[in-house]
């Protein structure tokens, strides 16, 4: 079961295939842009499961975190939506406590998403904006 914790979106003025490749370079260790499901060592002693399709990049790690970046056509290029989910199978009630009830989490998520979107735009040489 997934419980939505935060959601933010933005527009990249480029085609979805180019945006997905740039997102993969920004999000995935080694910048791997391969479709499928695989495990990556994203920091010492920690691994995450990564799923990449044509329109979604998802990273799930730790006991509760799942981040999904979905891509959809937009009149100005590509709409990118980032959603953070609580996917804890046990101790779901403790996620909010462990994260201090997510105080400021939405703002932090929005800020890091905006930074990431700007990096994608710089990589592709195009404009971006929060939606």
Domains in the chain (CATH in brackets) are: 3-130 (3.30.530)
Structure confidence at residue 96 (pLDDT): 58
Please report where in the chains the tokens 């779901």 appear, as a residue: 92
pTM: 0.86
Tens-digit pLDDT profile for residues 11-55: 999 999 999 999 998 888 676 777 888 888 777 777 888 999 999
Tens-digit pLDDT profile for residues 44-101: 777 888 999 999 999 998 778 899 999 999 999 999 999 999 898 765 555 555 555 5
Angle of CA points 17, 82, 37, to nearest 5°? 60
């Amino acid at each position: 079961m997934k419980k939505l914790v935060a959601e933010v979106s933005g527009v990249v003025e480029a085609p979805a295939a180019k945006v997905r490749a740039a997102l993969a370079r920004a999000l995935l260790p080694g910048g791997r842009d391969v479709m499928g499901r695989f495990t990556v060592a994203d920091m010492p002693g920690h691994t995450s499961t990564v799923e990449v399709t044509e329109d979604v990049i998802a990273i799930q790690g730790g006991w509760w975190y799942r981040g999904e970046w979905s891509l959809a056509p937009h009149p100005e290029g590509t709409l990118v939506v980032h959603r953070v989910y609580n996917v804890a199978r046990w101790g779901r009630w403790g996620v909010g406590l462990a994260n201090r009830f997510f105080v400021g989490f939405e703002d932090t998520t929005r800020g890091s998403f905006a930074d990431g979107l700007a990096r994608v735009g710089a990589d592709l040489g195009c404009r971006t904006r929060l939606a």
